[in-house]
Amino acid sequence: MSKIRPSKGAPYARIMGVGGYRPVRVVPNEVILETIDSSDEWIRSRSGIATRHWASAEETVAAMSIEASGKAIADAGISAEQIGGVIVSTVSHFKQTPAVATEIADKLGTGKAAAFDISAGCAGFGYGLTLAKGMIVEGSAEYVLVIGVERLSDLTDLQDRATAFLFGDGAGAVVVGPSDEPAIGPTIWGSEGDKSETIKQTVPWTEYDSSGKFPAITQEGQAVFRWAVFEMAKVAQQALDAAGISPDDLDVFIPHQANMRIIDSMVKTLKLPDHVTVARDVETTGNTSAASIPLAMERLLATGQAKSGDTALVIGFGAGLVYAATVVTLP
């Protein structure tokens, strides 16, 4: 017989508030065309991207996260002192240690919240959301802040015609708290490490000095497209099945904002009804990796395209290759 007292967490968890931060500088395709041989028409047709935001020196990973988190905490109607955990998903915080989450937790005034970073690329928000749900149900925290944040402009090779136009900067955050009813469904997540070369950093940090070129993100575009459209549509369907709903029950679809063609193809493959609102934030925000889903969620709610209580399917996928999909009730 175990002598350990059982955990006393909430029966379920839900997203209570959302916030976003986009850097002040807006970068149109014309700026990208200064360093690659392409055209605005080609970029838009291939990716759907017209503009993206690039951070200034002052708009650090921590600074953007704090701005987004403050909005999420206010939206949730709680105080920073009530936050018991801070989870930050990012691949563009260049200090291996300490985790940027600890700095964010301190500057927000959370007290002694558990704080850590995760590296799960464009699926990072889904990973963080799943961890937060577990913490709340298990009872180790009442409220958890989940942040997706990137400064991908620091990892963009502006001479690479295949990727120079893709990436943007920004931060999105949600507060996850207790719920009396299911509001975050089972997560379908996983990895396919045999495809790790498909999206990768060009050189390890240990080889930076000898290579003479700052590391950047590179990818095999066609392979990523095929994988995202065909394999991730299957994962999205599994998430719907796990939540016990059909596409007809959905109000909103918020996929990772990687590429407009991928988004439109997934909608078609999933046979989503016309009434489902689809996030297409990539047009003006670009691919912000871990930040893309919460940023898209925040914009849909702010513009009235989605509303509180809507049922949304979210799915992230990217470098690793990794993925995570779940159904949530919007805050």
Instruction: Tell me which of 29, 53, 93, 256 is the catalytic residue.
Output: 256
Cα–Cα distance, 160 to 112 (Å, whole number): 43
Other beta carbons less than 10 A from residue 58's beta carbon: 9
Query: Could you say which of 29, 53, 93, 122 is catalytic?
Result: 122
Catalytic residue list contains 287: yes
State yes or no: is 93 an active-site residue. Answer: no
The catalytically annotated residue of 29, 53, 259, 287 is 287
- Tell how far CA 331 is from the center of its chain: 17
Q: Catalytic site residue 259?
A: no
Catalytic positions: 122, 256, 287
